[in-house]
Amino acid sequence: MRLLLDTHAFLWWIADDERLSSRAAALIADGTNEVFFSAASAWELVVKAGLGRVELPDPIERFVPDQLERNGFQALPIQLRHALTISSLPSLHRDPFDRMLVAQAVAEGMTLVSGDRAMKGYPVHVEW
């Protein structure tokens, strides 16, 4: 299975946070699954860290690449077709980062790992 982590799923996995569901943790830990982290999530973390809404143990430009390497996650860049896929999505979620994650999951045929209930209204497979 190809998994795309929502930003909170990534952070909760890294922190071994109990808010990450046991199902999500098992999917991420399963070595047969490919796990992806979107450039949209990196951008979201930069914005939220700049606003003081997220605190990271290291500077973000070091933290994210280190965590991707340590955990064997792959970076997923934002492509033009991802952005254009957003036009076909219903307007269920106003958060542009989340809409991009949904678009990427749809365009790439990935399963989105997210505890955000609004994500289930989109035409994408969501696990939590």
Instruction: Kindly give the confidence (pLDDT) of every residue in the chain, 128 residues in length, as a single tens digit, with 9 standing for 90 and above.
Output: 999 999 999 999 999 999 999 999 999 999 999 999 999 999 999 999 999 999 999 999 999 999 999 999 999 999 999 999 988 888 877 788 999 999 999 999 999 999 999 898 889 999 99
The torsion angles phi and psi of 41, rounded to 5 degrees, stand at -70, -40
Query: What is the per-residue pLDDT for 87?
Result: 85
Query: What is the per-residue pLDDT for 120?
Result: 86
The DSSP letter of residue 51 is T
Domains recognised in the chain with CATH numbers: 2-127 (3.40.50.1010)
The number of beta carbons lying within 10 Å of the beta carbon of residue 68 is 17
Whether the model clears a pTM of 0.85, i.e. scores above it, the answer is: yes
Query: What is the per-residue pLDDT for 89?
Result: 87
Cβ-based burial of 40 (10 A; exposed 0-12, middle 13-18, buried ≥19) = buried
Q: Which amino acid is at 13?
A: W
* Nearest to 81, CA basis, from 111, 121, 108, 112: 108
Query: What is the per-residue pLDDT for 95?
Result: 85
H or E element that contains 35: strand 34-38
Cα–Cα dist 83/101, whole Å: 10
